[in-house]
Amino acid sequence: MPSFVAALREGYARDTLRPETPQSIAEVAGDPAAFVAGQLAPPTSVTLPDGSQGPAVPYTVLWYVEGEEFLGSLHIRHHLNANLEKVGGHVGYAVRPSARGRGHASAILAAGLDYIRANLDLERVLLTVNAQNPASIRVIEKNGGVHTASIPHIWIPGDTALHYWIAL
């Protein structure tokens, strides 16, 4: 947990569409046990990027660690809903800023795809990525992603969300 809190402080965000705030980090740092419990029993509703509440699909959060050091995370949504079909998809990931550029995201996604093959009944997964995120586009393409669509981003006006599918 100390390493996870350090990652939050250095700019790692649990939700790529919403940066952490001093308050959100203080909540985790102040009650790590409650935070871990929440990770293990995810809530059935989720705060959407516009601040409204929406139903959460079942999901799994996996941490990528080296010894005691938190390096990054992978979020797996077990199925899509109307929002996730547009932005979010099945799989999201993030690497803490100090650990970027070393191949970790590529390894995280590859390991995540193996996890999905072993644990979920999915034949293919959707990944969505902002057109202005070339590093993530590269990570997806290295993992076999096929670009199928580009749509207006539903949460960031003016931005474009690229759709990639990876066959499992």
Ligand X SMILES: CC(C)(COP(=O)(O)OP(=O)(O)OC[C@H]1O[C@@H](n2cnc3c(N)ncnc32)[C@H](O)[C@@H]1OP(=O)(O)O)[C@@H](O)C(=O)NCCC(=O)NCCS
- Indicate whether 11 belongs to the interface with ligand X (CB under 6 A): no
CA distances from 35 to 32, 108, 155, 156 (A): 5, 22, 26, 28
Of 28 and 127, nearer to ligand X (C-beta) is: 127
Report in angstroms how near the CB of residue 33 gets to ligand X at its nearest.
Answer: 26
- Indicate whether 2 belongs to the interface with ligand X (CB under 6 A): no
Amino acid residing at 58: P
Of 33 and 99, nearer to ligand X (C-beta) is: 99
Q: Which of residues 118-147 bind ligand X (CB under 6 A)?
A: 129, 133-136, 138-139
Of 5 and 162, nearer to ligand X (C-beta) is: 162
| Crossing angle (nearest 10°) for helices 22-30 and 32-40 | 90
Q: How many of the chain's residues bind ligand X (CB under 6 A)?
A: 19
- Run of H or E residues at 92: strand 91-95
Report in angstroms how near the CB of residue 104 gets to ligand X at its nearest.
Answer: 4
Of 2 and 97, nearer to ligand X (C-beta) is: 97
Q: Which of 128, 56, 53 is CA-nearest to residue 90?
A: 128
Tokens matching residue 51: 């601040």
Query: Helix, strand, coil: what percent of the chain each, to 5?
Result: 35, 30, 35
Is the CB of residue 92 less than 8 Å from the CB of residue 16? yes
Report in angstroms how near the CB of residue 60 gets to ligand X at its nearest.
Answer: 17
Of 41 and 91, nearer to ligand X (C-beta) is: 91
Of positions 3, 24, 60, 106, contacts ligand X by CB under 6 A: 106
Q: Which of residues 16-55 bind ligand X (CB under 6 A)?
A: 16
CA distances from 24 to 70, 88, 103, 141 (A): 18, 21, 28, 33
Using CB under 6 A as the criterion, which residues of the chain lie in contact with ligand X when the complex forms?
Answer: 16, 92-95, 100-106, 129, 133-136, 138-139
